[in-house]
Chain A
Amino acid sequence: MSLHVRRRTTWRERLRHQWSAILWLALVWVLLWGSVTWGNVLAGLLLGLLVVVLLPLPQLPFHGHVRPLRLLALFVRFGLDLFLASFQVAWQALRPGRQPRGAVVGVRLRNPSDIYLTVTAELSSLVPGSLVVEVHRLTGMLYLHVLDLEAYGGVDKVRADVLALEARVLRALASDAELEAAGLATRRGVPA
């Protein structure tokens, strides 16, 4: 696997592949200044250009395609879960008596490519009762700390929830071939 290969890129290549990063940096700049003026937009674009050319980051290989509806479903579900998780942790912090007994659970993800691993790890830190302790890139293992294993419903429920989260991420972002490989291919037009 070519996980640690650093290919040297020329600044022309970086410009060609990372124009979206320049646009995003310009948007951040404009939002920070708080008003859309020609000066702000131009300064933002210029700064974005400088950042991308002078501070290169390794490129993320992304072969998937974005499904807007699935992405929306992912975000809506994420919002609901964040709400639930926050109040659960708040309740556990405030309830008198019982101290939670934690656990560290390893989950093997179906698709260990960098981008899905990162998104799944980020979301699972915020979402269910879990927190990422360690990520193993080569094997695609995610080690999560669970605040209260007994209240959560056991190791198998943790694994099932993380895999369900990964499935939502893959359905939103991965290509058909990757979905097929992960065993998540759905019949056309049938929501799963």
Chain B
Amino acid sequence: MTVDWIGVADVVAAICMLLGAFLAFAAGIGIVRFPDLLARMHAATKPQVLGLILMLVGVGLRVHVWSVVGMLVLVVVFQLLTAPVGAHMVGRAGFRTGKVVHEDLVVDDLTADQEAALAEEDAAEAAEEDEGREPSSDAPR
């Protein structure tokens, strides 16, 4: 009995492409439905990245030309490297410019830590003023 490897590859490629398309679709729905910026970034990273990878695996299996496969691998590598960085930058910018509604968060360590750091700074400044307005040793005159 001979196995029709091209047929097998085609079936696997079809499954990969359907799964990838489903994940990309779910990522799109997530971007519309999730309540805030940070939640949307989740949809834009995880299902989207795996969706693209599965899609490209499907393309690679269907095309089976080595030069194309090399380029697809490159696309996947750069997607994996850049998607989290992009999401991080958007999330950070959103946090810093007040686009994140803090009341919606169950726990918010970042705001708490920032406020603690600010309070510490204020306390240090107040202490400095109490010391008869002597500039601290490392301050430039």
Complex alpha-carbon distance, A87 and B46, angstroms: 9
Q: A28-B74, A126-B80, A132-B88 are in contact. Are A90 and B34 (CB under 8 A)?
A: no
B110: which A residues are within 8 A, CB to CB?
A: 104, 106, 133-134, 143
A31 with B71: in contact, given A89-B47, A90-B23, A102-B38 (CB under 8 Å)? Answer: yes
Chain A residue numbers with a CB within 8 Å of B29 are 93-94
Report which B residues bind A (CB closer than 8 A): 22-23, 26-27, 29-30, 33-36, 38-39, 41-43, 45-47, 49-51, 67-68, 70-71, 73-74, 80-81, 83-85, 87-88, 91-92, 95, 104-111, 113
Q: Name B's interface SS.
A: helix
CA distance in complex: A28, B105 (Å): 42
Are B47 and A86 interface neighbours, CB within 8 A?
yes
Check A122 against B30 for contact (C-beta < 8 Å). Answer: no
B120 shortest CB reach to chain A, Å: 13
| Chain A residues proximal to chain B, CB less than 8 Å | 28, 30-32, 34-35, 82-83, 85-94, 99-106, 121-122, 125-126, 129, 131-135, 141, 143, 145, 147, 149-150, 155
Cβ-defined contact, B39 with A147, below 8 A: yes
Does B51 lie within 8 Å of A86, measured CB to CB?
A: yes
Interface hub of B36, B51, B88 (most chain A Cβ within 10 A): B88
Contact B34 A126 (CB under 8 A): no
The 4 closest A-B pairs by CB, nearest first: A93-B30, A34-B67, A125-B84, A90-B26
State whether B88 touches A104 (Cβ < 8 A): no
